[in-house]
Chains A and B, each alone.
Chain A
Amino acid sequence: MSDTPEILLPEDKPLEIAGRVYQSRLLVGTGKYRDLMEAGHAIESSGAEIVTVAVRRTNLGQNPDEPNLLDVISPDSYTILPNTAGCYTAKDAVRTCKLARELLDGHDLVKLEVLGEEKTLYPNMTETLVAAEELIKDGFKVMVYCSDDPLLAKRLEEMGCVAIMPLGAPIGSGLGIQNRYNIRLIVENAEVPVLVDAGVGTASDATIAMELGCDGVLMNTAIAQAKDPIRMANAMRLAIESGREAYLAGRMPKKLYASASSPIDGTFF
Protein backbone atom coordinates (compact mmCIF):
# COMPACT_ATOMS: atom_id res chain seq x y z
CA MET A 1 0.00 0.00 0.00
CA SER A 2 1.35 3.41 -0.86
CA ASP A 3 1.74 6.15 1.72
CA THR A 4 -0.99 8.74 1.85
CA PRO A 5 0.26 11.67 -0.19
CA GLU A 6 1.06 14.64 1.99
CA ILE A 7 -1.24 17.59 1.45
CA LEU A 8 0.77 20.75 1.17
CA LEU A 9 -0.94 23.86 2.42
CA PRO A 10 0.23 27.20 1.05
CA GLU A 11 2.74 28.66 3.45
CA ASP A 12 1.77 31.48 5.75
CA LYS A 13 3.90 34.58 5.95
CA PRO A 14 5.56 34.57 9.36
CA LEU A 15 4.97 37.34 11.86
CA GLU A 16 7.35 40.24 11.33
CA ILE A 17 7.84 42.91 13.98
CA ALA A 18 10.29 45.77 13.51
CA GLY A 19 12.10 43.94 10.74
CA ARG A 20 12.52 40.67 12.64
CA VAL A 21 10.71 37.49 11.68
CA TYR A 22 9.07 35.17 14.22
CA GLN A 23 7.66 31.70 13.63
CA SER A 24 5.37 31.84 16.67
CA ARG A 25 2.41 34.18 16.91
CA LEU A 26 2.07 33.62 20.62
CA LEU A 27 3.81 36.07 22.93
CA VAL A 28 3.91 35.30 26.63
CA GLY A 29 4.55 37.02 29.93
CA THR A 30 6.68 35.75 32.80
CA GLY A 31 4.62 36.93 35.76
CA LYS A 32 2.46 35.08 38.32
CA TYR A 33 4.21 31.70 38.04
CA ARG A 34 4.88 29.63 41.13
CA ASP A 35 8.59 29.82 40.45
CA LEU A 36 11.11 30.52 37.73
CA MET A 37 11.40 26.87 36.79
CA GLU A 38 7.67 26.59 36.10
CA ALA A 39 7.83 29.82 34.09
CA GLY A 40 10.71 28.45 32.03
CA HIS A 41 8.94 25.17 31.28
CA ALA A 42 5.64 26.82 30.40
CA ILE A 43 7.31 29.28 28.06
CA GLU A 44 9.15 26.47 26.34
CA SER A 45 5.90 24.57 25.95
CA SER A 46 4.18 27.65 24.49
CA GLY A 47 6.70 27.87 21.67
CA ALA A 48 6.79 31.65 22.16
CA GLU A 49 9.80 33.53 20.88
CA ILE A 50 8.93 36.91 22.38
CA VAL A 51 8.72 37.01 26.16
CA THR A 52 7.78 39.99 28.30
CA VAL A 53 9.49 41.00 31.53
CA ALA A 54 8.97 43.79 34.05
CA VAL A 55 11.63 46.16 35.37
CA ARG A 56 11.74 46.63 39.13
CA ARG A 57 14.03 47.67 41.96
CA THR A 58 16.45 45.01 43.13
CA ASN A 59 15.25 44.09 46.59
CA LEU A 60 17.74 45.25 49.17
CA GLY A 61 17.20 42.22 51.36
CA GLN A 62 16.95 39.70 48.53
CA ASN A 63 18.89 36.49 48.62
CA PRO A 64 21.83 37.23 46.31
CA ASP A 65 22.07 33.59 45.23
CA GLU A 66 18.53 33.55 43.90
CA PRO A 67 18.56 32.96 40.15
CA ASN A 68 17.83 35.93 37.97
CA LEU A 69 14.87 35.77 35.57
CA LEU A 70 17.17 36.46 32.64
CA ASP A 71 19.36 33.50 33.63
CA VAL A 72 16.37 31.20 33.14
CA ILE A 73 14.76 33.02 30.23
CA SER A 74 17.89 34.03 28.42
CA PRO A 75 18.12 36.88 25.90
CA ASP A 76 20.20 34.44 23.82
CA SER A 77 17.16 32.17 23.37
CA TYR A 78 14.26 34.63 23.44
CA THR A 79 13.46 38.13 22.29
CA ILE A 80 12.98 39.85 25.63
CA LEU A 81 10.22 42.42 25.60
CA PRO A 82 10.45 44.69 28.65
CA ASN A 83 7.14 46.24 29.65
CA THR A 84 6.21 49.43 31.45
CA ALA A 85 3.60 47.72 33.60
CA GLY A 86 2.72 49.66 36.71
CA CYS A 87 3.37 53.04 35.05
CA TYR A 88 0.56 55.57 35.24
CA THR A 89 2.38 58.49 33.60
CA ALA A 90 4.28 58.95 30.34
CA LYS A 91 7.30 60.08 32.34
CA ASP A 92 7.51 56.85 34.37
CA ALA A 93 7.02 54.75 31.24
CA VAL A 94 9.83 56.52 29.38
CA ARG A 95 12.16 56.13 32.39
CA THR A 96 11.33 52.45 32.60
CA CYS A 97 12.09 51.92 28.90
CA LYS A 98 15.43 53.68 29.20
CA LEU A 99 16.38 51.50 32.17
CA ALA A 100 15.27 48.42 30.24
CA ARG A 101 17.42 49.36 27.27
CA GLU A 102 20.42 49.73 29.54
CA LEU A 103 19.56 46.44 31.25
CA LEU A 104 19.39 44.62 27.91
CA ASP A 105 22.54 46.07 26.36
CA GLY A 106 20.82 48.48 23.99
CA HIS A 107 17.94 46.21 22.95
CA ASP A 108 15.28 48.74 21.99
CA LEU A 109 12.05 46.76 21.47
CA VAL A 110 9.65 47.65 24.29
CA LYS A 111 6.06 47.08 25.29
CA LEU A 112 4.59 50.42 26.23
CA GLU A 113 1.68 50.37 28.61
CA VAL A 114 0.51 53.38 30.54
CA LEU A 115 -2.30 52.53 32.87
CA GLY A 116 -5.25 54.70 33.76
CA GLU A 117 -6.66 53.20 36.96
CA GLU A 118 -6.15 50.23 39.21
CA LYS A 119 -9.58 48.67 39.00
CA THR A 120 -9.60 47.97 35.26
CA LEU A 121 -5.92 48.60 34.40
CA TYR A 122 -7.42 50.22 31.34
CA PRO A 123 -4.82 52.13 29.29
CA ASN A 124 -4.50 55.89 29.74
CA MET A 125 -4.41 56.79 26.07
CA THR A 126 -3.43 60.44 26.39
CA GLU A 127 -0.34 59.49 28.41
CA THR A 128 0.29 56.56 26.08
CA LEU A 129 0.41 58.89 23.07
CA VAL A 130 2.83 61.24 24.83
CA ALA A 131 5.12 58.38 25.87
CA ALA A 132 5.00 56.73 22.43
CA GLU A 133 6.07 59.92 20.74
CA GLU A 134 8.99 60.47 23.09
CA LEU A 135 10.15 56.84 22.90
CA ILE A 136 9.99 56.72 19.11
CA LYS A 137 11.96 59.96 18.91
CA ASP A 138 14.57 58.35 21.17
CA GLY A 139 14.92 55.36 18.83
CA PHE A 140 12.78 52.80 20.64
CA LYS A 141 10.70 50.28 18.73
CA VAL A 142 7.37 50.51 20.46
CA MET A 143 4.77 47.77 20.74
CA VAL A 144 1.88 49.56 22.32
CA TYR A 145 -0.83 48.29 24.65
CA CYS A 146 -3.88 50.39 23.84
CA SER A 147 -7.63 50.73 23.99
CA ASP A 148 -9.69 49.21 21.19
CA ASP A 149 -10.45 52.56 19.56
CA PRO A 150 -9.76 52.13 15.82
CA LEU A 151 -8.86 55.80 15.35
CA LEU A 152 -6.34 55.86 18.21
CA ALA A 153 -4.89 52.56 17.00
CA LYS A 154 -4.34 54.09 13.57
CA ARG A 155 -2.81 57.19 15.11
CA LEU A 156 -0.32 55.08 17.08
CA GLU A 157 0.61 53.29 13.87
CA GLU A 158 1.09 56.57 12.01
CA MET A 159 3.33 57.83 14.82
CA GLY A 160 5.61 54.87 14.17
CA CYS A 161 4.65 52.18 16.68
CA VAL A 162 5.82 48.80 15.38
CA ALA A 163 2.85 46.82 16.71
CA ILE A 164 -0.61 47.78 17.94
CA MET A 165 -1.84 45.78 20.92
CA PRO A 166 -5.43 46.48 21.91
CA LEU A 167 -6.88 44.74 24.93
CA GLY A 168 -9.49 42.03 24.43
CA ALA A 169 -10.66 42.47 28.03
CA PRO A 170 -9.00 43.90 31.17
CA ILE A 171 -5.52 42.62 32.06
CA GLY A 172 -5.68 39.43 34.08
CA SER A 173 -9.49 39.16 33.83
CA GLY A 174 -9.64 36.11 31.56
CA LEU A 175 -12.96 37.34 30.20
CA GLY A 176 -12.09 36.57 26.58
CA ILE A 177 -12.43 38.82 23.55
CA GLN A 178 -15.19 41.27 24.49
CA ASN A 179 -14.77 43.62 21.55
CA ARG A 180 -14.66 41.56 18.38
CA TYR A 181 -16.08 44.30 16.20
CA ASN A 182 -13.46 46.85 17.27
CA ILE A 183 -10.60 44.37 17.02
CA ARG A 184 -11.71 43.47 13.52
CA LEU A 185 -11.86 47.14 12.52
CA ILE A 186 -8.37 47.77 13.92
CA VAL A 187 -7.01 44.76 12.02
CA GLU A 188 -8.70 45.88 8.81
CA ASN A 189 -7.11 49.35 8.97
CA ALA A 190 -3.64 48.39 10.18
CA GLU A 191 -0.47 48.01 8.19
CA VAL A 192 1.61 46.95 11.18
CA PRO A 193 0.97 43.80 13.23
CA VAL A 194 -2.06 43.86 15.52
CA LEU A 195 -1.86 41.66 18.60
CA VAL A 196 -4.50 41.20 21.25
CA ASP A 197 -2.79 41.96 24.53
CA ALA A 198 -4.75 41.04 27.65
CA GLY A 199 -8.10 39.43 28.29
CA VAL A 200 -7.56 35.88 27.04
CA GLY A 201 -8.76 33.26 29.55
CA THR A 202 -8.58 29.98 27.70
CA ALA A 203 -7.60 28.47 24.37
CA SER A 204 -10.81 29.32 22.49
CA ASP A 205 -10.32 33.02 23.33
CA ALA A 206 -6.92 32.97 21.67
CA THR A 207 -8.41 31.23 18.64
CA ILE A 208 -11.12 33.87 18.34
CA ALA A 209 -8.50 36.64 18.34
CA MET A 210 -6.63 34.88 15.55
CA GLU A 211 -9.82 34.18 13.58
CA LEU A 212 -10.50 37.91 13.63
CA GLY A 213 -7.26 38.33 11.72
CA CYS A 214 -4.95 39.39 14.51
CA ASP A 215 -1.28 38.78 13.82
CA GLY A 216 -0.68 37.39 17.28
CA VAL A 217 -1.75 37.30 20.90
CA LEU A 218 0.14 38.29 24.02
CA MET A 219 -0.93 36.62 27.25
CA ASN A 220 0.34 35.91 30.73
CA THR A 221 -2.27 35.08 33.36
CA ALA A 222 -4.23 32.61 31.20
CA ILE A 223 -1.17 30.36 31.19
CA ALA A 224 0.43 31.19 34.54
CA GLN A 225 -2.77 30.82 36.55
CA ALA A 226 -4.04 27.69 34.84
CA LYS A 227 -4.04 24.60 37.07
CA ASP A 228 -1.37 23.14 34.81
CA PRO A 229 0.46 26.06 33.20
CA ILE A 230 2.73 23.87 31.09
CA ARG A 231 -0.22 22.07 29.54
CA MET A 232 -2.15 25.32 29.04
CA ALA A 233 0.88 26.83 27.31
CA ASN A 234 0.73 23.97 24.83
CA ALA A 235 -3.04 24.45 24.43
CA MET A 236 -2.46 28.12 23.65
CA ARG A 237 0.20 27.26 21.07
CA LEU A 238 -2.27 24.98 19.30
CA ALA A 239 -5.11 27.51 19.66
CA ILE A 240 -3.08 30.26 18.05
CA GLU A 241 -2.07 28.00 15.15
CA SER A 242 -5.63 26.77 14.77
CA GLY A 243 -7.13 30.25 14.74
CA ARG A 244 -4.56 31.47 12.25
CA GLU A 245 -5.28 28.54 9.92
CA ALA A 246 -9.03 29.17 10.15
CA TYR A 247 -8.49 32.85 9.37
CA LEU A 248 -6.37 32.01 6.32
CA ALA A 249 -8.86 29.36 5.21
CA GLY A 250 -11.74 31.85 5.37
CA ARG A 251 -14.78 30.73 7.28
CA MET A 252 -18.12 29.86 5.68
CA PRO A 253 -20.78 32.54 5.74
CA LYS A 254 -23.20 32.38 8.66
CA LYS A 255 -26.79 31.56 7.76
CA LEU A 256 -29.95 32.00 9.74
CA TYR A 257 -31.42 28.56 8.86
CA ALA A 258 -30.21 25.05 8.16
CA SER A 259 -28.72 23.92 4.86
CA ALA A 260 -28.54 20.14 4.39
CA SER A 261 -25.08 18.70 3.94
CA SER A 262 -26.35 15.58 2.11
CA PRO A 263 -28.02 15.95 -1.32
CA ILE A 264 -31.78 15.69 -1.62
CA ASP A 265 -31.47 14.17 -5.15
CA GLY A 266 -31.26 10.38 -5.27
CA THR A 267 -33.19 9.72 -2.10
CA PHE A 268 -35.09 6.39 -2.42
CA PHE A 269 -37.82 7.01 0.11
Chain B
Amino acid sequence: MQVEVNGDAMELPVGATIGALIDQMALAGKRLAVEVNEDIVPRSQHQSFALSDGDRVEVVHAIGGG
Protein backbone atom coordinates (compact mmCIF):
# COMPACT_ATOMS: atom_id res chain seq x y z
CA MET B 1 0.00 0.00 0.00
CA GLN B 2 1.06 3.58 -0.44
CA VAL B 3 0.95 6.22 2.26
CA GLU B 4 2.17 9.80 2.30
CA VAL B 5 4.78 10.47 4.96
CA ASN B 6 5.83 14.06 5.56
CA GLY B 7 4.64 14.95 2.09
CA ASP B 8 6.43 12.12 0.27
CA ALA B 9 4.90 8.90 -1.05
CA MET B 10 6.10 5.77 0.72
CA GLU B 11 5.44 2.11 -0.01
CA LEU B 12 4.58 0.03 3.07
CA PRO B 13 3.38 -3.55 3.57
CA VAL B 14 -0.40 -3.80 4.01
CA GLY B 15 -1.34 -3.33 7.66
CA ALA B 16 1.98 -1.75 8.66
CA THR B 17 1.77 0.01 12.00
CA ILE B 18 3.07 3.44 12.93
CA GLY B 19 5.69 1.64 15.02
CA ALA B 20 6.91 -0.18 11.89
CA LEU B 21 7.00 3.08 9.94
CA ILE B 22 9.06 4.74 12.67
CA ASP B 23 11.48 1.80 12.61
CA GLN B 24 11.77 2.05 8.84
CA MET B 25 12.56 5.77 9.16
CA ALA B 26 15.31 4.90 11.66
CA LEU B 27 13.61 7.08 14.26
CA ALA B 28 12.88 4.44 16.89
CA GLY B 29 13.39 5.79 20.40
CA LYS B 30 13.39 9.43 19.27
CA ARG B 31 11.09 11.99 20.80
CA LEU B 32 8.50 12.63 18.11
CA ALA B 33 4.78 13.03 17.52
CA VAL B 34 2.63 11.46 14.83
CA GLU B 35 -0.49 12.67 13.10
CA VAL B 36 -2.54 10.53 10.69
CA ASN B 37 -4.98 12.39 8.44
CA GLU B 38 -4.64 15.42 10.71
CA ASP B 39 -5.48 13.54 13.91
CA ILE B 40 -2.91 12.91 16.63
CA VAL B 41 -2.09 9.26 17.28
CA PRO B 42 -0.80 9.05 20.87
CA ARG B 43 2.55 7.39 21.44
CA SER B 44 0.88 4.62 23.42
CA GLN B 45 -0.93 3.53 20.21
CA HIS B 46 2.02 3.61 17.79
CA GLN B 47 2.66 -0.12 17.98
CA SER B 48 -0.98 -1.08 17.48
CA PHE B 49 -2.21 1.59 15.04
CA ALA B 50 -2.38 0.04 11.56
CA LEU B 51 -2.02 2.45 8.65
CA SER B 52 -4.31 2.27 5.64
CA ASP B 53 -3.65 2.87 1.96
CA GLY B 54 -3.73 6.58 1.19
CA ASP B 55 -3.15 7.74 4.79
CA ARG B 56 -1.41 11.04 5.18
CA VAL B 57 1.11 10.76 7.99
CA GLU B 58 3.11 13.53 9.63
CA VAL B 59 6.06 12.65 11.84
CA VAL B 60 7.36 15.72 13.64
CA HIS B 61 9.97 16.63 16.22
CA ALA B 62 11.26 19.74 17.99
CA ILE B 63 13.89 21.88 16.31
CA GLY B 64 15.41 25.29 17.02
CA GLY B 65 12.98 28.18 16.82
CA GLY B 66 12.08 31.48 18.39
Q: How many residues of B contact A (CB 8 A)?
A: 26
Q: Does A259 belong to the interface (CB within 8 Å)?
A: no
Q: Does A32 belong to the interface (CB within 8 Å)?
A: yes
Are A102 and B42 within 8 A (Cβ)? yes
Main secondary structure of the interface of A (DSSP, over half): mixed
**What 1/0 flags go to A19-39 for Cβ under 8 Å of B?**
000000000011111001001
Given contacts A57-B7, A60-B8, A68-B30, contact A103 B66 (CB under 8 A): no
Report, as a range, how many residues of chain A touch the other chain: 35 or more
Are B63 and A100 within 8 A (Cβ)? no
Given contacts A99-B40, A103-B31, A103-B33, contact A80 B62 (CB under 8 A): yes
Contact among B6, B8, B60, B62 for A68, CB-based, below 8 A: B62
Which B residues lie within 8 Å of A202 (CB)?
none
Nearest chain B residue, comparing its CB with the CB of A218: B66
Contact among A83, A85, A103 for B60, CB-based, below 8 A: A103
A68 to B32, CA, bound (A): 10
Q: Does A221 belong to the interface (CB within 8 Å)?
A: yes
Which B residues lie within 8 Å of A168 (CB)?
none
* B34 → A minimal CB distance (Å): 8
User: Of A10-18, A48-56, A154-162, A235-243, which binds chain B?
Assistant: A48-56
Are A58 and B27 within 8 A (Cβ)? yes
Q: Does A82 belong to the interface (CB within 8 Å)?
A: yes
A29 to B66, CA, bound (A): 4
Are A53 and B38 within 8 A (Cβ)? no
Are B32 and A69 within 8 A (Cβ)? no
